[in-house]
Amino acid sequence: MNRITRQLTIILAIASLLVFVPETAAQKTEVLICTTCQYENRIVHQYCGNCGESLSDEHEHWQAVRQVMERDFKRFISERIDPPKLFTVPAARVLGSLDIRLTGGGAFGVAADRSFLGKIGVGLGDIAEIEFSTVGMVTNITRGSATFPTSAFKLLLINENRWHIPTLAVSFRSSADWQDVQSDKTVLDANSATQDAGITAVGYDTRFTEMNVITSAQLWSLNLHAGVSLTDVRVRDLSVESYLSGPYVDPEEKQKNLLGGFIGFEIESNPQTKLMFELKTVSNYQFNVDTKEIDVSDAFLAIGGVRFFFSRWLSTDVGVWYHSTFKGIADLQIKLGLNLFIPGGELGSRFRRRSAGKGSSGP
């Protein structure tokens, strides 16, 4: 599974490069070719620089082609289905009713997550969205991050409006069940504190529920998303193996509330590409050797990259991830994700229109 994911993401990266390069090359070849002598004139010239013929017909043709291209680009933007989130930061909008989003991806980097991150989201009535996904948590006892299956619900409170009031949404995310986190021996061996204490294994169960209040606003060409999050983290059944002090078990359930937040922005770079940047807090589980407890605190996660649209329904997110727990840039990870939409709502309304017998032809 994991190997297939990696191969898929490599193919995607190559494909996106292939799409990028010819497009940027095409942008600077704007010339008028004289129909009489085939001489390549600059676009501003009224008459051919070689034979002196008028270039007005060529200008007209060039403008017509350009208009068609611009119209196609505008339609591409307006009809393109954009995931209602950045890399991980949510936006205060929801998927269209009955639209289904499938997201899959993987990570590259020495200390990268070994697991496949997948998501499925469904829009409900244009005001709500449900999502099932795996999310990563930062720990100091495993390589990469521990991943959790979660389910989430987002409700739109203030929709996009003509009074320029920022959109507002609230979302809840919860781990599906108690999740077992087990240490990697290589990580414990590489840590001098756990090594000195003779610790060979650490394990615990955890679950969490988070609530987000999200607002989105548009400032010039910048789309801004920001919010606050409250996360209730539970840890229980801690067990520590040490060849110096013997086994230690603490079944007691511990609870901690973490207040965090997030901010993200997106800029349209061209009709097919958006630049995205986000900064957010994530739960950071650190095993404390002295107190033999799991200290839960906020860590920062920063992600910067692009979202590229292959078509209206297919896009890829490519970004560089950095955690505040990383020691240096050698720990950073490159993550690739693929977003596929199944426009259930659009197909449904098309079908209804057709059966009602009044197919409308919009502009």
Closest to Zn ion by CB, 50 vs 67, is 50
Tell me the β-bridge partners of 238: 250
Rounded Cα distance between 44 and 110, Å, is 52
Asked whether position 37 contacts Zn ion by CB under 5 A, the answer is: yes
Asked if 326 interacts with Zn ion (CB under 5 A), we say no
Least CB distance from residue 38 to Zn ion, whole Å? Answer: 7
Q: Which stretch binds Zn ion (CB under 5 A): 39-47, 61-69, 156-164, 186-194?
A: 39-47
- CA pair distance 281, 260, nearest whole angstrom: 6
Interface with Zn ion (CB under 5 A), residue from 36, 255, 297, 324: 36
- Closest separation in Å from C-beta 63 to Zn ion: 19
Q: How far is CA 358 from CA 195, 233, 352, 353, in A?
A: 74, 54, 9, 6
Span from 8-16, 29-37, 65-73, 256-264 in contact with Zn ion (CB under 5 A): 29-37
Applying CB under 5 A, which of residues 6, 13, 20, 39 lies at the interface with Zn ion?
39
Query: 51, 64, 259, 267: which one contacts Zn ion (CB under 5 A)?
Result: 51
Q: CB-hemisphere CA count at 13 Å for 111?
A: 23
| Min dist. Cβ of residue 57 to Zn ion (A) | 12
Start-to-end CA span in the chain (Å): 45
Q: Which of 139, 134, 108, 102 is nearest to 121 (CA)?
A: 102
Per-residue binding string, Zn ion, 266-295, x by CB under 5 A, is ------------------------------
Q: Build a one-symbol-per-residue string for 163-202: x at contacts with Zn ion by CB under 5 A, - elsewhere.
A: ----------------------------------------
Of 53 and 293, CB closest to Zn ion: 53
Q: How far apart are CA 273 and CA 219, in angstroms?
A: 18
State the minimum distance, in angstroms, from the CB of residue 27 to Zn ion. 24
Min separation Cβ 31 and Zn ion, Å: 12
Which range, of 45-53, 204-212, 248-256, 328-336, touches Zn ion by CB under 5 A? 45-53
Q: Which of 46, 50, 186, 288 binds Zn ion (CB under 5 A)?
A: 50
**Amino acid letter, residue 309:** F
Closest approach, Cβ 100 to Zn ion, in A, equals 55
Q: Which is nearer to Zn ion, 51 or 347 (CB)?
A: 51
> 296 near 235, Cβ under 8 Å?
yes
The stretch near Zn ion (CB under 5 A) out of 4-12, 31-39, 304-312, 333-341 is: 31-39
Binding segment for Zn ion among 47-55, 113-121, 300-308, 338-346 (CB under 5 A)?
47-55
CB of 343 to Zn ion, least distance (A): 49
Q: Confirm or reject binding of residue 222 to Zn ion (CB under 5 A).
A: no
Residue given tokens 């649209």 in the structure block? 309
User: What residue ranges bind Zn ion (CB under 5 A)?
Assistant: 34, 36-37, 39, 48, 50-51, 53
